[in-house]
Every structure is written in C-alpha cells, then in structure tokens.
Structure 1
Amino acid sequence: MLIESVSGMVKKRETLVHALKDYPNSKDVLIVGGFVRRIIDNNFANYIDWLEEAMRILDKKSMANFFTILWNSCNHRNNLMFSGKEKAAWVIWERAKSISKDFCFHNKMNKPILPPQMVEKWEKPPIDKVKVNFDAAISNDKIGFSLLARDDKGIIVGESGFRVEKAHAEWPKLHCQYYFQK
C-alpha cells in the first residue's frame, strides 16, 4: 500500500501490485504455482518494477504463464468485488493451467527475459598506477567511445570521442589502440 498524507489526513492508495500480492487469494495462487519467493515477497511500489523483477528471474514461457496467472487473479478479484463470488486459490490455478497446455514455471535451464543486473564496483589500482576503462558502441554507421582513467587517489582523467563514418565491429579497438599509442 502506498500511504499519502493529504492535508493532515492519512490516505491509503492501493496499486495493482498490492492488489495482487496482498490479496490473500492471489498470493495463494502465486504460491500454489510454485513461484520463486523473491517475486512474491519483495516490496515494490510500482507494478512495472514487480514485472521487471519477474522478467529477470523467469524465462519467456514462464513469463507468459505468469501473465496468465495475473490475468486470472485480476479476473477473479473483479468477480469477487462485483458479484461476491470467491473461488479457492487452487481453482484459479487450475483455470490458468488449463489455458496453457504445457504449464511449467521457472526452468533454470532457460535464460530469463531480462539479464540480471550486474553491479561492478571500481577497484583502486596499485599506487602510482592508472586504471583505464574503455567503452565503445556502434550504431547506424556512427562510432561513440569513451575513455576513462583513474589513478590510485581516484583522480579522473577522461576523454571521449564520436565519429560519423562507416563503422565496422573492429574499429573501436583500432581507435583505442591509436589513442593509447599517442
């Protein structure tokens, strides 16, 4: 739940992610479906953040099944709100399973849709040494590159360049070698 303070009054605002995750029946459906606890138990403020995390964990087929589960949970929640009809979590799960013939979740052999976010920490070079990072990109016959150098004290000396010309995959390496030979 998002809690907002409006002119001294506290107002709770439920987002779709909270409606699906915090609603006991929806949470039970996700648990019955064998979802990774990381998808269920994380606290996300936005629905898109929740889906993005799921895409970093699940493969393409599993993500399609996940959307089927979410659709069935939303549909069930609407039926409960407007008709007063509530079904057990396993009934919703079986309904979603019947929609997809080969329903399986999270095959670790398949790659997730989005790659996991890698956090790389800069490590200091030895004293009196310089660490150089070079990055290059090619897009639409253009080459963009940047060169960043730091010494052991963290002082940054940087250079970047941009060229518009016919680009080949090997050219950024050649540009890098050229700048290091200067």
Structure 2
Amino acid sequence: MRILDKKAFEDFISTLWIIWNSRNNAIFRGKEKDAYGIWKCALPRCCRWEKPPKGVIKVNIDAVMNSCGTSLGIIARDSDVFVLSGRASFTNKVINPEWAELDASIDGFRLAHFLNVDKVIF
C-alpha cells in the first residue's frame, strides 16, 4: 500500500467530494454527469487552491444557483490545511449570481468573526 503525500490526499478527497455531490445530484435532482464530466469538475478544484501563510486563516466561499434555489458553501482552513469550520446551506429562493456570492461572503465574514481570528484571507 502506498502512502499518499499531502497534496495527493487533498486531490483524492476533493475528487471524492465531487463524486458524492454528483451522485446526490443524480439521485435527488435527476441530473447525471458522466465520468469525464465529474473529472473535469474535480480537476480545477484540486489544482487551484493555495494554502494561506503561517498564522493566517483562509475562508473560501461558493454559491450555486439553479431553478430550484441557491446553495452556499463556506470553509475555513489554516496554513496546515486543517479545516477549522465550514457551513453549507440551501434556500428555495432563486437569486442572481452576484447576490448569491454576496450572501456567501457575508456568511464567510460571520464565520471568521465566530472563529475570532485576526488574520483572514478570503
């Protein structure tokens, strides 16, 4: 058995999350993706995140909209890539992308305030 380095493990976990999310979309929303479509979604997520400097917390946000509603996701990690906290929410209201990102940003600020951290990157 091969032990994965930290980056490979992060890529693996990100890919598992994409697969799990795609499975839920197929079961609960009737939206299926083929394996290549899932891989295309997973690859950019694995390759683009950069960890924050020592002593800084990084808060990432995301918002997704469709005809059923809006989903928000927030996650806070430290320089060791340790997940400090996270949150996901869904609302039935459909809003434009800019307002959804603003809602996610506000939730990100609230999370940083709740964690009582001095140095935060968004």
TM-score band, normalised by the shorter chain?
0.3 to 0.5
Q: TM-score, normalised by structure 2?
A: 0.47
Which one has more relative contact order, counting CA pairs under 8 Å at least 6 apart?
A: 2
Pick the structure with greater CA Rg. Answer: 1
Normalising to structure 1: TM-score of the pair?
0.33
